[in-house]
Amino acid sequence: MALIKNSVMLASNMTAPNPFDALENVVAIGGGHGLGRVLSALNHLEGRLTGIVTTTDNGGSTGRLRETENCIAWGDLRNCIHQVVTQPTIASLMFEYRFGGEGELSQHNLGNLMLLALDKMSVRPLDAINLIREMLHVKSHIVPMSEHPTHLVAHGRNDERVFGEISVDKMTSMPKCLHLEPDVPATPEAIVAINKAQLILIGPGSFLTSLMPPLLLPELRDAITKSQAKKIFIANLIKEDGPAGNASKNELLEWTRQATKLAVPDAILVHSPKEKIVGPYHFCDIASTTSCYHHREKLRAAVTTTYNNLVGHTQMIASNN
């Protein structure tokens, strides 16, 4: 009897299985700062985590390199790689070094130049990224949305053509539509990652210029549509500059639906309900108290809890049927 009693007590003290911990493939999609924060928050997943990075930026050091070298935008990729470095080294410090002065190297980031140089030495841009990952001991996968140079183009309410991310961000109202110019294929590894994913995260980031470009790739968009993975959208903490900042969350969801034909995500993580919104919103404390960015540990906890709730809800429906 004592043996049976002890066994019952042991079973009752065991923690319930955590579905999130059992995930084998998680995909996060977006631009540099926002996506980098998500990757950093979930970096404990290591090789089970893939970041698909927007590559249409045309400003700053990245823009200057694109003009002279006809390359993809390296800045957001560099940012994401840097944010998942877990072993700071001289190499990682060099990777984020930015030149000063007024010469030709002024304001260029050494990491961008390193990636460009390795790209020139490699068969494909993804090879350059993987070489840097290996050098910096980064285990999470970082994949460009496309390995071919392309720019974001918007068409305004009066059909005016607005070329490039920097100009799109300066628009005063939401565009009628967006497209990529030229049309480019998605990186094959990005499609494979989405096909294998059990959880897909989108955001946070600039709506039109960080989140939309990957969704404009037909193969990538179709892979998301067909995926059975749970899909969670992570909202920004503060109102962004640009036309998307003046739209409500519901308006942005509807704009996305019309532009991409993607369904509403299974869940939308929001820090606080400051507006009247309807939909699958989950309100969580995910803000840092010392910066305007998402708090890594809070974000990890919120994503974990939300996913577990979604899976539990699905299992409950299945059991009732």
141 three-class SS: strand
What are the backbone dihedrals phi and psi of residue 30, each rounded to the nearest 5 degrees, phi first?
160, -160
- At 6-37, the pLDDT tens digits run 444 444 444 557 999 999 999 999 997 899 99
Structural domain includes residue 121 = no
Q: Measuring CA to CA, which residue among 139, 116, 138, 140 is closest to residue 128?
A: 116
What's the CATH number where 48 sits?
A: 3.40.50.10680
- Decide if pLDDT at 314 tops 80: no
Structural domain includes residue 249 = yes
pLDDT at 88: 86
Helix (H) or strand (E) holding 152: strand 151-155
Q: How many helices (H) and strands (E) does the chain have?
A: 13, 10
Quote the domain boundaries for residue 30: 23-57+141-320
Q: Which residues, listed in sequence order, are joined to residue 232 by a DSSP beta bridge? A: 201, 267
Mean local confidence (pLDDT), 36-47: 97
Burial letters for 127-136: b for 16+ Cβ neighbours within 10 Å, e otherwise? ebbbbbbeeb
Structural domain includes residue 87 = no
Q: Which two tokens stand for residue 216?
A: 């404009």
Structural domain includes residue 73 = no
Q: Return the number of other C-beta atoms located less than 10 Å from residue 258's C-beta.
A: 10
Structural domain includes residue 213 = yes
Across all residues in the chain, what is the average pLDDT? 90
pLDDT at 313: 53
* Rounded Cα distance, 5 and 281, in Å: 43
* Residue whose entry in the numeric block shows the structure tokens 């001289």: 90
**Looking only at Cα atoms, what is the longest distance across the chain?**
82
- At 197-238, the pLDDT tens digits run 999 999 999 999 999 999 999 999 999 999 999 999 999 998
- At 167-186, the pLDDT tens digits run 999 999 999 999 999 999 99
Number of domains observed in the structure of the chain: 1
Asked if 193 contacts 142 with a C-beta cutoff of 8 angstroms, the reply is no
Mean local confidence (pLDDT), 292-307: 95
- At 254-278, the pLDDT tens digits run 999 999 999 989 999 998 766 667 6
Structural domain includes residue 82 = no
* The amino acid at 272: S
